[in-house]
Structure 1
Amino acid sequence: MIALAAALSLAVAQQAQPFAVPSADGYVLTGQADVPEGGSRGVVIMVAGTGAFDRDVTFGRSGTPRDRLFADLATRFNARGMTALRFDRRGVRHGVPPTEAIDAAAAPGVTAEALSADVGALYDWARSSAGLEARCVVFFAHSEGAVHVAGVAKAGAPEPALVIGMGAPLESKVSAVRWQSTGRDADSLTMMDADGDGTITNEEVRSNWMNTPSAVFETLAPFLHPNGAWTPADLDQLRANQTALYEQAKASAMALDDATPYPSAAAPVFSGAWWKSWMTDDEPLAARFARWRSPLILHYGDRDSQVREQRQRAAAEGVLGQEQVRFVSHPGRGHSLGTEPLMGPIEEAIADQIADEAAAACPG
C-alpha cells in the first residue's frame, strides 16, 4: 500500500506537448514539454549526460518505471506546477525498437559545439512566443549535460533562474577524463585503506571496494594485489602505467577524422570531433558558468564513479562565489544519486528535493 500511495501521489494531470525545434545548423530536435494542468509557473529544461539518450533517459536497473530518470523527474516537476522540457539527443530516435534508436547518418554532427547549440536552441524556443513563453527557466543537467548548459552560458545567453546539477562537472573536460583514466583506481584504492596506514591489504580491498568509484567496473580481481597488499610505491606505479595508457588513447583520439563515427561505425553514437574535445578542451566549466550570476545547486553522491565532489569544489574556488554555488552531498549515492556508482534510479527523497528546488526558483 505504501508503494501504491507513492505512485498515486505522482499521478498529476499533465499534457505532453510534442515539439520539433531546429538547432543552429538546421538539425531538428524532437521531444516533449510536459505541462501541468492549471498553468505553469516555469520551465525546467532537462539535459542528459553522456550516451544515446532519448527524452526519457533510461538509466537504471531496478526494472521499474523509475529507471526512466527524466520521465520520473518530469512527473515530480509537474506536481509542483513546473513544465518539464525533455528532448531526444541529436542522433537518437524516441519510441522505436532499440535497433532503430540510433540515426547513424547524424553521427558526424554530434559534436560538442552542436550539442551545446542544441540546448541553446531549446532555451530560446522555451522563452519565445512561438514556444512556451516561459518567463522563468531552470536548467537541470546530469553529468555531461552540465558541459552543454555551460556552453549556453559561454555563448552569452540570458541568465536562467537556476542551474541544478546531478553529478555535474565544474573542472575542465580534459581534467575529468584524465582523472577517470589515470586517477580513479588509485584514489579508490586509497579509499579502501580502512586503517589509514598507507598500505591497502587485499582484505581491505575485499571489504571496501564496492564503496569506491572503481566499483563501477563490477570486477574485484584487478584490485587484488599479487603480493597481498598495495604500498604507496605500487599506487605511484599504477598511476604511471595508466598515464601511459591515457597518452596512447589521446594520440589515437587526435588521429581520428572529425567526422569519424565514435566509438565505432557499428555503434555511431558520437563523432570523432566530440571525443577529441575531451582531450583538448581544458577550460574549467566553472569559468563558463561564472559568465552568469545564476545560482547553481550541485548534487553529488560520495560513490560517484565519474565526477568527484571535492574536485568540483576545487574548480569552483575563486571562480564561483560562495553565494552563487551550493554543494549538496549525498552519502552512499552514486553518479545518478542512486545506490549504484553510476546508474539510477534517483533516490526518491533526492528526486523530490530537486523538484522542490526547481519550483522554489519560479515562485509564480
Structure 2
Amino acid sequence: MITFVAALMLAVTPPVQPFTTPSADGYVLTGQADEPEGHPRGVVILVAGTGAFDRDVTFGRSGTPRDRLFADLAERFNARGMTAVRFDRRGVRHGVPPSEVIDAAAAPTVTAENLSADVGAIYDWTRSDAGLGARCVVFFVHSEGAVHVAGLAKAGAPEPALIIGMGAPLESKVSAVRWQSTGRDADSLAMMDTNGDGTVTNDEVRANWMNTPSAVFGVLAPFLHPNGAWTPADLAQLRTTQAALYEQAKTAAMALDDSDPYPSAAAPAFSASWWKSWMTDDEPLAARFARWRSPMILHYGALDSQVREDRQRAAAEGILPDEQVRFVSHPGRGHSLGTEALLGPVDAVIADQIADEAAAACPG
C-alpha cells in the first residue's frame, strides 16, 4: 500500500524516460529524458565538456547533489516545462561501481568525429517520432560540448532554436589548447599586477593569484619568483619557455597512433586521435556556428581557467553577427559558473537564468 508521502513524491517527481540510440558507427548511446509535468514546451539537450562524464556530469566538490551539474540543471529545465535530454559520453557507463565506469574497449572510438556524430544521433532521436518528436530544441553546451555542436552546424544539421553556452569556446581547438599551455600562466601573472606598473611582486601574487585562471592548479609556489618579482622580461621568457614545452608535447602527440588510448593505457578515456585534433584543428568554431542562424547566449565567468571571454569575443568578430550572439559576463565565477576557476556547482541564480533562457526559446 502506497503511503501518502510516497504518493506525493510520485506525483511531483518528473517522469524519466531511459533511451538508447545508435550513433553513425553503430555505437549504442545511452541516456535519459527527464520530462516535466504536463505537455513539454520544448527540449534541452545537454552536451558535456572534456571528461569521462556520464549523464549527470559530476563536476564539483561541494559535497551536495548540486555537484551533479546536469542533473541539477535538468530539474530547473523541468520546472519551466522543458524536457531535459542527458546522455552518457561514449565509453562511459552510468550507474555502475567506479571501477566499471570506463569502457576501455570503446576508447579507440572516442574521436572528435564520433563525438560530434554522437550528439547528432541524440539530436535526431530527440526530433524523431520514435524518440521525443520535439519541434523546439535548445542545446546547452559546456566547454568542449560546443565543439561537438559546432560539428553539427558544419555538417548541415537542422538549426536548433537556441544554443546556450557555459564556458563555450568560439576560437579554434588549436588556439584554445595553445593558450592553456603557453598563455594562461603569464596572463594570470599580468592580472595580478594590481598597480599596473608592469612588475608583479610576490606580495601581489599572494594577494591575487586565486582570482586568476591559474588558480585552477591550486598551488601558489610556482608563481612566486625567486627574486621577489616578475619583470616584463620574466613574463616574456615564461611564454617562450612554455611555448617550447608545447611544441614538445605536440611532437609527442603526433607520434602516437590514432587508436592509442589517451591519456594512458591505464586511464583510457579518449583515443590519441581525439587529442591530436586539438593540435591540428585550427578552424575557429565561430565559423562553424556561422553556418546556422540560431541565436546564441554565451555565459563566461571572469575566473574561467579554460576559456577566456575576451578571446571568444575576438574569435566571433566579423564571423558571427552581433545580433546572433549575446555574451553574458559573470564576475567572480569560473569555467562552470561556480566560485572556483574550474569546478561547479553552477551558481544557483545563474542556473535559473539559464533555465529561463531555454524556456523562453520554446514558447509552447
Q: 1:141-152 maps to which residues of 2 (within 5 A)?
A: 141-152=141-152
Per-residue deviation, 1:181:
0.1
Deviations 1:288-340 (A, max 9, x none): 00000000000000000000000000000000000000000000000000000
Aligned position for 1:325: 325
Partner of 1:237: 237
**Alignment partners' CA distance in 1, 2:75 and 2:39:** 15
The reply on whether 1:63 has 2:57 as its aligned counterpart is: no
Deviations 1:11-59 (A, max 9, x none): 9541110000000000000000001121101000000000000000000
Q: Which residue of 1 aligns with 2:133?
A: 133
What is the correspondence of 1:140-289 to structure 2 with a 5 Å cutoff?
Answer: 140-289=140-289
- How far apart, in 2, do the equivalents of 1:138 and 1:267 lie? 33
Compute the TM-score of the two structures, normalised by the length of structure 2.
Answer: 0.97
SS class of match (1:239) = helix
1:301-340 maps to which residues of 2 (within 5 A)? 301-340=301-340
Partner of 1:4: none
Q: What is the one-letter code of the residue matched to 2:106?
A: A
Alignment of 1:69-108 (within 5 A): 69-108=69-108
Distance 2:19 2:272 in 1: 29
Rounded to whole Å, the distance in 2 between the matches of 1:138 and 1:94 is 24
Alignment of 1:335-350 (within 5 A): 335-350=335-350
Structure 2 counterpart of 1:70, which letter? Answer: F
Q: TM-score, normalised by structure 1?
A: 0.97
CA distance, structure 2, for counterparts of residue 114 and residue 124 of structure 1: 15
Please state whether the residue corresponding to 1:14 is helix, strand or coil.
coil
Report if the CA contact (8 A) 1:12-1:75 is conserved: no
Give me the whole-angstrom Cα distance separating, in 1, the residues matched to 2:193 and 2:234. 14
Q: Which amino acid aligns with 1:358?
A: A
What SS does the aligned partner of 1:83 have? strand
**Structure-1 separation of matches of 2:343 and 2:350:** 15
Distance in 2 (CA, whole Å) between partners of 1:152 and 1:360 is 23
Q: Which whole-Å CA distance do the structure 2 matches of 1:271 and 1:13 have between them?
A: 38
Q: Which amino acid aligns with 1:115?
A: L
Unaligned 5+ runs, structure 2:
1-7
CA distance in 2, matches of 1:146, 1:254: 24
SS of 1:353 mapped into structure 2: helix
Q: Once superposed, what is the RMSD of the aligned Cα atoms?
A: 0.9
| Count of aligned pairs | 355
SS in 2 for 1:36: coil
The letter of the residue matching 1:259 is S
Corresponding residue of 2:118: 118
Give the equivalent residue in structure 1 for 2:23. Answer: 23
Whichever residue aligns with residue 111 of structure 1, its letter is T
Report the residue type matching 1:277 in the other structure.
S
Equivalent position of 1:3 in the other structure: none
Q: Is the 8 A contact 1:108 1:259 kept in 2?
A: yes
